[in-house]
């Protein structure tokens, strides 16, 4: 037997060839996701689909949907989760039904591919994933050697490139299960808003799937970075769920080319010291960083002297005993943002203080703040103009997820009579563009805490360091026409943010629309 099947139950059946196979769950109506993909690593020229896989294209899966979303890019593409099964306590099989609700063919492979990979690797269903909110990680399908992922392939599984009008296909992905054995998960795809609270079953999934334990595979994960910044822009904080990184602006702490702290630095460092006091951290790291101006002979020693200055000041401000400090200077070798703009350079000139996240609910560097806003109906709509056409905004949700995450969803509608483009969603400074242009021109503000929350970003390791992709709707790259709206057309957009624990209402600023007061639900 050429297929190695995922272990799904306690009883073992031996195939005639001696290959271990475990029973699967009761089969759903035939669908492409119920075929048995080859265990051999796929190549850029996948094998001809089997007859059973080809025949399954003509069958429709009638399982009820566990969750549903719509593609932002392709108006008539509906995505439904029809199976989310935990296997062996450590793997997850996700099965999605893609339906064409229109009258013309729609493509699916470019839509479902993982667009945080190199362009040549954005294929198949490699973009199906789940959020591990505890670990603040975006989990994607396992990657075998020589193949993009343990997931559906248009050719190998007989799915073709298009979904026909009125038809559906099923695709699958095998990926790591989120930590903590949760009862539900947030399912993410590249095409539309994440699907929340999808129930995870510990029953065997319907169908046969490749076993990640049967061959060497690589876990594909994207660390979720959730930044926020003080209203005076003296610091930016990122929260990994376990640790905090407080990026203190060198422009506030020091004079140009100096390592002596300014009078304003004491106020900024006092806020950071309060967080360290609330943290159980035994070790606090202090790292000095520079922008790309100058050279290593200048930047390296200056960044180290600045780190040491912050270390000494923080140590003197702490009220508790115990944390051990480690100070380093990295010069310009670890930028947070592109050095191609003045704003990016400003943000890269920093001293980063990293430590275990405080266990208390209060994690705002701005200090002790009591949030007293009541969750009223809020203001959820606004209107604007794009190239002479009226255009409308509606906030459809600001939802609190586990682990201090929040999901903002909103719609943009062309309310005019002519086609128009609305580019302001990504009309942000270039340091926010990340790898591709995305709907990153969005801010949440907690006025009481004097704090602003920026869209989350996915950290992607590269040979040269890391790239960042916005954890929000793509509006170009592989989705180059998302900014284009036909008369009457509505598109759905989304962004992931950190959410303050106690905030009930936040001010939402989206592109050029007016500020809206939105309740957190």
The pair of structure tokens assigned to 464 is 């040269």
53 touches 23 (CB < 8 A): no
Averaged confidence pLDDT in the chain:
83
Q: How far apart are CA 151 and CA 95, in angstroms?
A: 10
Q: How far apart are CA 148 and CA 116, in angstroms?
A: 12
Q: What is the mean pLDDT of residues 341-360?
A: 89
175 touches 187 (CB < 8 A): no
Place 436 in a pLDDT band, splitting at 50, 70 and 90: low
> Which among 497, 463, 500 is positioned nearest to 367, based on CA atoms?
500
Q: How far apart are CA 158 and CA 59, in angstroms?
A: 13
Q: How far apart are CA 403 and CA 134, in angstroms?
A: 6
Q: What is the per-residue pLDDT for 368?
A: 36
The answer to whether residue 377 scores a pLDDT higher than 70 is: no
For the residues of 170-190, what is the DSSP string, one character each? EEEEEEEPPTT--SEEEEE-S
3-class SS of residue 276: helix
Beta bridge partners of 171: 96
Angle between helices 265-278 and 296-317 (to 10 degrees): 60
Q: What is the mean pLDDT of residues 356-370?
A: 52
Q: What is the per-residue pLDDT for 228?
A: 93
The pair of structure tokens assigned to 420 is 């128009």
Q: How far apart are CA 501 and CA 304, in angstroms?
A: 35
The pair of structure tokens assigned to 64 is 């009820």
DSSP at 416: S
- Segment 424-427 long-range contacts (CB within 8 Å, at least 24 positions apart): 424/386, 424/511, 424/512, 425/473, 425/475, 425/483, 425/493, 425/510, 425/511, 426/475, 426/476, 426/483, 427/511, 427/512
* Run of H or E residues at 301: helix 296-317
Indicate the domain borders of the chain.
13-215, 243-356, 381-519
Q: What is the mean pLDDT of residues 162-166?
A: 94
Q: What is the per-residue pLDDT for 146?
A: 82
Q: In this structure, what are the phi and psi dihedrals at residue 225, rounded to the nearest 5 degrees? A: -105, 125
Determine the straight-line distance between the first and last CA of the chain, rounded to whole angstroms: 51
Length of the chain: 521
Pick the CATH number of 381-519 from 3.90.550, 1.10.10, 2.60.40, 1.10.260: 2.60.40
For the residues of 87-102, what is the DSSP string, one character each? ETTTEEEEEEEEEE-S
Place 28 in a pLDDT band, splitting at 50, 70 and 90: very low
Q: How far apart are CA 68 and CA 66, in angstroms?
A: 7
Q: What is the per-residue pLDDT for 36?
A: 31
Please state which architecture CATH assigns to domain 243-356. 2-Layer Sandwich (3.30)
Q: What is the per-residue pLDDT for 59?
A: 53
């Amino acid at each position: 037997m050429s297929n190695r099947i995922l272990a799904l139950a306690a009883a073992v059946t031996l195939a005639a060839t001696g290959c271990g196979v475990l029973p699967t769950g009761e089969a759903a109506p035939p669908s492409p996701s119920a075929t048995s993909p080859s265990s051999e690593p796929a190549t850029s020229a996948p094998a001809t689909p089997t007859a059973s896989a080809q025949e399954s294209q003509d069958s429709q899966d009638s399982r009820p949907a566990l969750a549903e979303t719509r593609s932002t890019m392709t108006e008539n593409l509906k995505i439904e989760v029809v199976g989310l099964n935990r296997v062996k306590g450590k793997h997850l099989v996700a099965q999605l039904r893609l339906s064409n609700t229109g009258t013309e063919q729609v493509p699916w492979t470019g839509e479902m591919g993982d667009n945080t990979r190199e362009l040549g690797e954005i294929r198949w269903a490699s973009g199906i994933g789940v959020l591990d909110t505890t670990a603040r990680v975006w989990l994607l399908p396992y990657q075998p050697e020589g193949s993009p992922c343990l997931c559906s392939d248009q050719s190998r599984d007989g799915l073709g490139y298009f979904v026909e009008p009125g038809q559906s296909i099923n695709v699958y992905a095998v990926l790591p299960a989120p930590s903590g054995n949760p009862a539900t998960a947030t399912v993410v795809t590249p095409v539309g808003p994440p699907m929340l609270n999808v129930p995870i079953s510990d029953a065997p999934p319907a169908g046969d799937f490749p076993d990640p334990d049967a061959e060497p595979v690589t876990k594909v994960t994207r660390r979720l970075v959730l930044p926020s910044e003080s209203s005076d822009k003296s610091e930016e904080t990122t929260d990994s769920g376990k640790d905090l990184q407080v990026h203190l602006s060198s422009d506030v702490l020091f004079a140009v080319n100096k390592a002596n702290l300014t009078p304003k630095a004491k106020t900024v460092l006092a806020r950071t010291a309060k967080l360290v006091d609330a943290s159980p951290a035994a070790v606090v790291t202090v790292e000095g960083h520079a922008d790309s101006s100058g050279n290593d002979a200048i930047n390296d020693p200056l960044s180290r002297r600045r780190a040491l200055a912050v270390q000494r000041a923080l140590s003197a401000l702490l009220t508790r005993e115990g944390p051990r400090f480690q100070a380093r200077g990295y010069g310009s070798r670890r930028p947070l943002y592109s050095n191609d703009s003045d704003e990016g350079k400003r943000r890269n000139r920093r001293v980063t203080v990293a430590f275990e996240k405080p266990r208390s609910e209060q994690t705002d560097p701005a200090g002790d703040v009591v949030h007293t806003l009541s969750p009223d109906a809020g203001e959820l709509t606004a209107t604007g103009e794009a190239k002479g056409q009226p255009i409308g905004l509606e906030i459809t949700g600001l939802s609190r997820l586990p682990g201090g995450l929040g999901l903002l969803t909103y719609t943009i509608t062309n309310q005019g009579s002519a086609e128009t483009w609305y580019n302001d969603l990504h009309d942000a400074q270039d340091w926010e563009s990340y790898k591709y242009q995305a709907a990153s021109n969005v801010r949440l503000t907690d006025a009481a805490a004097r704090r602003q929350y920026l869209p989350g970003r996915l950290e992607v390791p590269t040979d040269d360091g890391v790239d960042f992709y916005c954890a929000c709707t793509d509006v170009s790259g592989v989705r180059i026409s998302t900014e284009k709206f036909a008369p009457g057309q509505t598109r759905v957009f989304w962004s992931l943010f950190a959410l303050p624990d106690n905030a009930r209402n936040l001010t939402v600023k989206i592109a050029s629309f007016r500020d809206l007061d939105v309740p957190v639900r």
